[in-house]
Amino acid sequence: MSQPSTPLRRFWAEFRENRVAVVALIIVVVMILLAIFAPLVSPQNPYDLANLSLMDSRRPPGFVGSGGYTHLLGTDPQGRDLLSAIFYGLRISIQIGLAAGFVSLTIGSALGILAAYIGGRVEVLIMRLVDLQLSFPAILLALVIVALLGQGQAQLIGALVAAQYAYFARTAYGAAKAERGKDYIEAAVATPLSSLLVVLRHLLPNCTPPLIVVATVQIANSISLEATLSFLGLGLPVTEPSLGMLISNGFPYMMSGRYWISVYPGVALIILIVAINIVGDQVRDQFNPRLRR
Amino acid sequence: MTDPVLSVQNLRTHFFTRAGVVKAVDDVSFDLAPGEIMGLVGESGSGKTVTGFSLLGLVDEPGRIVEGSIRLQGTELTTLSDAELRKRRGREISMIFQDPIATLNPMLTIGQQMRLAIDAHERLSKRAAEARSAQLLEQVGIPSASARLRAYPHEFSGGMRQRVAIAIALLHRPAVIVADEPTTALDVSIQAQILFQMRDLAAETGTALIWISHDLAVVSSLASKLAVMYAGRIVEQGPTATLLRDPRHPYTAGLIASLPAMTAPGTPLTQIPGTTPSLLSLPPGCPFAPRCEFATKACMAEPEMQTAGGRGWRCFHPVGHTAEALT
Amino acid sequence: MNDFVQINDVNRLFGPNLSTGEKIAAKLGGKVETRSVRAVSDVTLSVRRGETLGLVGESGCGKSTLGRLIAGILSPTSGTVSIGGASVMQNGTKVTTRVQTVFQDPFASLDPRMKVGDTVSEGPIAHGLTTKSNARTYVAEWFERVGLDPVWVDRYPHQFSGGQRQRIAIARALAMQPDVLICDEPVASLDVSIQAQIINLFLELTRDLGLTTVFISHDLSVVQHVSDRVAVMYLGRIVELGPVAEVFGNPAHPYTAALFGSVPKLVLDADELVRFDTIEGEVPSPLSPPSGCYYHPRCPLATAECRANQPVTQPVSDLRAVACHNSEQQLAKASAI
């Protein structure tokens, strides 16, 4: 019996055994692909005003509009094809989620690992700040920052990062603190290797498993946090509608029977977040030595 | 000859893992007389610990006993329900583990834990339970025992904690105690104290002892009987002194010869080549054959246990003898 | 240069790790444990070029700490460690590659996420002993030297058995071309049948490469086999030092005698049970060591003098030294048997 050699291939062999997680992973990949290729797969460019007709607004799913094609999921108050709007909305939501996730991952893990490696006052300073911030609800912090910075993608990402880096810092700190005491780090320090080499080649790679787990969950979180902000009208400008804004746009019509305008973007959002979380759970289970067989 | 208190016949415990079937214990048989101490020697993965767990019915999924019989004081254990096993565990057979930290509850005092262990099988008044606990602690060498009943595990040193674990195992005067490397984590001076005491305790109480260890020297000074395990099987068993003086199985002979004391200081030690095989991919026939200097074509078949003169060995080419001369 | 490795009056304290809260409490006069543990006290020792010095003692006696001080992993609280006249540490950082370490547990001492070849080559590359382009051949040479197949350089640690991993760890240490090797219980976590292989490899390499070695172990029979001289430690102090055969054959310190007596020996000839010489009691807490000689509460020879005064290390013969008030009595006792 040959064991797959690289850690990545062993990881995939184990991942494959959980069917639900594989399905979730496929959903995530498909949604990302849809977002990337939204202009190619959408029946309509929902933001090209020339394509829109007010005649077509708020039509139910299955309606054949003036464009000559069927609006599978109906249309919104501006007469946009909802399916196309969701694809474009996914694009913005995922973009912002990933960007915020990666920036917080970088900043957070750098701070956490530095605190654990250097120790002393730096450790106390960084980690108290992080603790202080973790005692604050993320949404409240994001709201305040967006209100201060104003609207726009960069501002929104900044707000999301400020609200989330602390989780990464905490996780990276915990992992690095545990790894720091292990013999292989001591062996590297005793060679002697420079601190930079020890951190980059040994400490960081061994702290990645828990960080990847937190990253998947936090990307899902930033997507829903962004949707929340957009829903409240504090997210992106109307010209860049994310899923949250689509939901918000349809909200006034919910009670008048035109449920689809809010519900379908909402369903898309839920599927995306649930799928990411299932993948994240499986990744966490595989990284957790206690659950290993 | 007295009736054995524990009789194990053809025990097989297998683990059904995702990578395949691990035959952790494969055809293990031995008898244990009251008050007897048997050393069970082997390297990591040889199946010595799983054998111990099987005796107490503590084998967890994905493992189970697939074959064989374990008779404790005449009762067959392998067919008992979990509830019935639990009734016997602690009272008729108990276990001591390598790491006493893991077995003692940090939140309860030693007295409370001993009380719980007593209550599991008996109704005793508080005073009687305390008296019994204190007496046992004293017996295992803990000074001012009745005062120490109110102490928590962290207030004891590693050696003292192991003594407490031994006292708990002795609470119901079980017929058999399985001790899994109980002194491996301890310092030599403490190990010597405990070994010495265990020998006396077994003689005093008539409790039979299975001492699992990787250290031949420890076992040789304690056990009257020895079983050497390799890759899930007992490859050689018999009286300790005979077996160490005149080993028949090349593995036993190799283990003895590789001890530093057997070679002049500074000179190369006699070594067994190769590494222990993975239980997932055992070589066909005798599992020791690939590392054995005497191996021949005959070793492609699995050797049966040969018995003569109160000892047994599982080898076609016993060291220093021709197979025919011995049987 | 006779005394190659010089350990000069070295002390190492481990302070209590106080949290901020505890520090404030201590400032306000609260009851906080502020005593520090003296893991190594007043150790002066030298290791000659090419010799193997065994370091033995029970857990907590400071033998590992002393090993780490010599290896430059820890810096001494006071005193100096030097190799060939050059200090190992400067301002808390190690400044030499002449001393390397083999750790106890090869499952912990190799980075699980790094190919073993890279683990062996990264130190030599960082210190210019080889170049990135020559690293593979350089590593292959060391792999062969420690008995590993060079085609394994691209594997990860989990693909090796314990014995093979320890060989990799030895290759990593030797690839730095050290003069001094610190071995911290290098066979303690290995299977019995593998221990002999690693000990043989160790004997062969130290001889061929002319290494000076400090071999730390709780297993006296292993130390007896590989060492030229041995130092016995108790509660952070060296209590006896000398050629291994003399120290174990005729101990001058009662602790050495008792420690050696506690080691279970393979009993081949006796059908009756063996008696151990056990030491009474346990090692006292290093937080509050006893007065006078640290060993007196457990010592059968203890006198009022032992309870009052700490014994000074004195030479027994040209080669031996002991820290005991009653060493003559102990020596006489041993030779009487």
CB contact under 8 A, C283 and B187: yes
Residues 201-240 of C with CB under 8 A from B: 203-204, 218, 220-222, 224-226
pLDDT digits (tens, 9 = 90+) for C43-93: 999 999 999 999 999 888 999 999 999 999 999 999 999 999 999 999 888
Residue B18, chain A, CB below 8 Å: the answer is: yes
Sorting pLDDT into bands at 50, 70 and 90, what band is C33?
A: low
Interface test mutation site (partner B, options C56, C107, C192, C239, max chain B beta carbons within 10 A): C192
List the single residue in C73, C108, C111 with the smallest CB-CB distance to A189. Answer: C73
Give the domains, in start order, of chain A with CATH numbers: 71-291 (1.10.3720.10)
Sorting pLDDT into bands at 50, 70 and 90, what band is C1?
A: very low
Give the domains, in start order, of chain B with CATH numbers: 6-230 (3.40.50.300)
pLDDT digits (tens, 9 = 90+) for C188-214: 888 888 999 999 999 999 999 999 999
Cβ(B96)–Cβ(B182) under 8 Å?
yes
B39 vs A77, more confident: B39
CB contact under 8 A, C264 and B221: yes
Percentage of residues in chain C with pLDDT exceeding 70?
90
CB contact under 8 A, A1 and B280: yes
CB contact under 8 A, C73 and A186: yes
- Phi, psi (deg, nearest 5) at residue B268: -60, 140
CB contact under 8 A, A7 and C103: no
Residues C236-257 as b/e (b if ≥16 CB within 10 A, e otherwise) read bbbbbbbebebbbebbbbbbbb
- Strands B225-230 and B37-41, bridge-based pairing: parallel
What pTM was computed for the model? 0.87
Report d(CA C120, CA C169) in Å as an integer. 8
- Strands B311-313 and B306-308, bridge-based pairing: antiparallel
Report d(CA A22, CA A282) in Å as an integer. 9
Say whether pLDDT at B324 is over 80: no
pLDDT of residue A233: 82
Report d(CA B103, CA A46) in Å as an integer. 66
List the single residue in B17, B20, B280 with the smallest CB-CB distance to A293. Answer: B17
pLDDT digits (tens, 9 = 90+) for B83-100: 999 999 989 999 999 887
Report d(CA B260, CA B277) in Å as an integer. 24
Cβ(B38)–Cβ(B30) under 8 Å?
yes
Residue with the two structure tokens 């239980």: B279
Tokens at residue B115, please? Answer: 């009380």
Q: H/E element holding A116?
A: helix A82-118
Nearest-by-CA chain A residue for B63? A293
Sorting pLDDT into bands at 50, 70 and 90, what band is C167?
A: very high
Instruction: Name the CA radius of gyration of chain A, rounded.
Output: 22
Q: Which residues pair with A142 in a beta bridge?
A: none
Percentage of residues in chain B with pLDDT exceeding 70?
98
CB contact under 8 A, B20 and A1: yes
B116 vs B143, more confident: B116
- Strands C229-234 and C52-56, bridge-based pairing: parallel
pLDDT digits (tens, 9 = 90+) for A11-62: 888 889 899 999 999 999 999 999 999 888 888 787 777 777 777 777 777 7
CB contact under 8 A, A293 and B18: yes
Q: H/E element holding B39?
A: strand B37-41
Cβ(C126)–Cβ(A193) under 8 Å?
yes
Chains near B with 3+ CB pairs less than 8 A apart are A, C
CB contact under 8 A, B281 and A293: no
Alpha helices in chain C (DSSP H): 20-27, 63-71, 116-126, 135-145, 162-174, 192-209, 220-226, 244-249, 254-262, 304-308, 327-336
pLDDT digits (tens, 9 = 90+) for A241-284: 888 888 888 888 878 878 888 888 899 999 999 999 999 989 88
pLDDT of residue A1: 38
pLDDT digits (tens, 9 = 90+) for A119-156: 888 999 999 999 998 888 888 888 888 888 888 888 88
Cβ(B78)–Cβ(B120) under 8 Å?
no
Residue with the two structure tokens 């109160």: B310
CA atoms within 13 A on the CB side of A258: 17
- Strands C37-48 and C180-184, bridge-based pairing: unpaired
pLDDT of residue B5: 94
pLDDT digits (tens, 9 = 90+) for C305-323: 999 999 999 998 889 999 9
Report d(CA B150, CA B146) in Å as an integer. 8
Say whether pLDDT at B323 is over 80: no
Angle between helices A82-118 and A153-180 (to 10 degrees): 40
Say whether pLDDT at A293 is over 60: no
Nearest-by-CA chain C residue for A128? C20
pLDDT of residue B20: 86
Q: Which residues pair with B313 in a beta bridge?
A: B236, B306
Longest dimension (CA), chain C: 68
Segment A163-170 shows an average pLDDT of 92
Residue B188, chain A, CB below 8 Å: the answer is: no
Neighbours of B46 (CB within 10 A): 27
Residue C152, chain B, CB below 8 Å: the answer is: no
Say whether pLDDT at B28 is over 90: yes
Say whether pLDDT at C172 is over 90: yes
Residue A188, chain C, CB below 8 Å: the answer is: yes
Q: Which residues pair with B71 in a beta bridge?
A: B7, B76
∠ CA B300-B306-B308, rounded to 5°: 155
Tokens at residue B288, please? Answer: 């020791």
Residues 272-291 of C with CB under 8 A from B: 273-279, 282-283
Q: Give the closest-approach CA distance of C185 to chain A in angstroms.
A: 13
Nearest-by-CA chain B residue for A17? B18
**Beta carbon pairs, A and B, within 8 Å:** 8
Say whether pLDDT at B204 is over 60: yes
Question: Mean pLDDT for chain A?
Answer: 86
Segment B277-293 shows an average pLDDT of 90
Interface test mutation site (partner C, options A11, A184, A196, A204, max chain C beta carbons within 10 A): A184
Chains near C with 3+ CB pairs less than 8 A apart are A, B
C21 vs B158, more confident: B158
Q: H/E element holding C310?
A: none
Report d(CA A24, CA A277) in Å as an integer. 9
Interface test mutation site (partner A, options B16, B18, B22, B60, max chain A beta carbons within 10 A): B18
Give the domains, in start order, of chain C with CATH numbers: 3-16+35-98+178-336 (3.40.50.300)
What is the separation of C-alpha C42 from the centre of its chain, rounded to a whole number of angstroms? 16
Q: Which residues of C touch B276 (CB under 8 A)?
A: 161, 191, 193-194
Cβ(A268)–Cβ(A250) under 8 Å?
no
Residue B310, chain A, CB below 8 Å: the answer is: no
Q: Which residues of A touch C101 (CB under 8 A)?
A: 187, 190
The DSSP call for residue B262 is: G
pLDDT of residue C268: 67
pLDDT of residue C216: 96
Which of A195-204, A255-264, B72-81, C235-244 bottoms out in mean pLDDT, i.e. has the lowest?
A255-264
pLDDT digits (tens, 9 = 90+) for A67-99: 777 777 878 777 788 888 889 989 989 999 999
Residue C160, chain A, CB below 8 Å: the answer is: no
Tokens at residue C25, please? Answer: 């409490």
Q: Give the closest-approach CA distance of A286 to chain B in angstroms.
A: 14
Report d(CA C237, CA C61) in Å as an integer. 8
Tokens at residue B308, please? Answer: 């003569």
Report d(CA B242, CA B220) in Å as an integer. 11
pLDDT digits (tens, 9 = 90+) for B13-22: 999 987 889 9
